[in-house]
């Protein structure tokens, strides 16, 4: 009888301990569940495109070869209508011929279709006519001369064909476009523009003031 009672007490103790252990495990699991952060969406690395920066290129000189990045300065409507001195650069890339010559050639050729649609225009485009007195060229550029007088930093552009100025501001537009296009080059600080006869372009005084 005693042995039977002892066995019963022993079995009861084992059951109690098993139940207690199970309860402890359940409690620990509950606590862990309460303390753990809720699972959110898995973070992903997002790539942000860098802000565009203006890239600076060396200021070209009028004696450089190409290919070379240059600007051509066009007038633009309506901005230039009230102020002919307002001109705006567009990109061009010169091949192996002189960059100053190339830039003026592009100015005479005028803007491309997309530039024209955006309002750019060249007043000199279509304004040269007749035979050339420079072997077929539209113009010639002489560096470090003010007309026929040596002058460091000057560039003299002389048209080789007759020029027509149909509007009161045509001459002002053309001079602004040419001046800005040539003065982008570091070795040109002053510009003289002559017509095919060698007189100052668009000089209504008749005194060739640009050569004084």
Question: Checking DSSP bridges between strand 128-129 and strand 162-163, what pairing results, if any?
Answer: antiparallel
In a domain, residue 7? The reply is: no
Q: Could you report the average pLDDT of every consecutive run of 10 residues in the chain (212 residues)?
A: 40 41 37 38 32 37 71 98 97 87 97 98 98 97 97 98 95 98 97 98 95 96
Strand, helix or coil at 207? coil
CA Rg value for the chain: 41
pLDDT at 207: 96
In a domain, residue 29? The reply is: no
CB 93 within 8 A of CB 70: yes
Residue 135: domain span? 68-200
pLDDT at 110: 98
In a domain, residue 133? The reply is: yes
In a domain, residue 36? The reply is: no
* Total number of domains constituting the chain: 1
pLDDT at 33: 38
pLDDT at 175: 98
DSSP state of 111: -
| Pair of tokens at residue 188 | 């040109």
In a domain, residue 124? The reply is: yes
In a domain, residue 44? The reply is: no
pLDDT at 160: 98
DSSP string computed for 23-44: HHHHHHHHHHHHHSPPP-PPP-
| Pair of tokens at residue 183 | 């003065």
In a domain, residue 56? The reply is: no
In a domain, residue 42? The reply is: no
pLDDT at 9: 42
């Amino acid at each position: 009888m005693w042995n039977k009672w002892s066995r019963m007490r022993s079995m009861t103790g084992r059951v109690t301990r098993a139940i207690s252990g199970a309860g402890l495990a359940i409690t620990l699991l509950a606590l862990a569940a309460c303390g753990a952060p809720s699972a959110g969406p898995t973070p992903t690395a997002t790539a942000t495109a860098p802000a565009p920066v203006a890239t600076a290129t060396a200021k070209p000189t009028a004696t450089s070869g190409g290919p070379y990045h240059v600007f051509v300065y066009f007038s633009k409507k309506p901005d230039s209508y009230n102020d002919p001195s307002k001109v705006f650069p567009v990109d061009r890339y010169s091949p192996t011929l002189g960059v100053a010559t190339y830039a003026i050639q592009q100015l005479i050729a005028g803007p491309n279709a997309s530039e024209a649609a955006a309002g750019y225009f060249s007043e000199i485009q279509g304004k040269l006519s007749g035979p050339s007195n420079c072997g077929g060229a539209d113009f010639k550029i002489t560096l470090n001369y003010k007309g026929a007088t040596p002058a460091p930093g000057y560039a003299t552009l002389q048209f080789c064909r007759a020029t027509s100025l149909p509007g009161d501001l045509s001459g002002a537009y053309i001079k602004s476009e040419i001046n800005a296009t040539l003065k982008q080059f570091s070795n040109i600080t002053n510009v003289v523009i002559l017509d095919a006869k060698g007189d100052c372009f668009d000089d209504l005084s008749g005194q060739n003031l640009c050569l004084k």
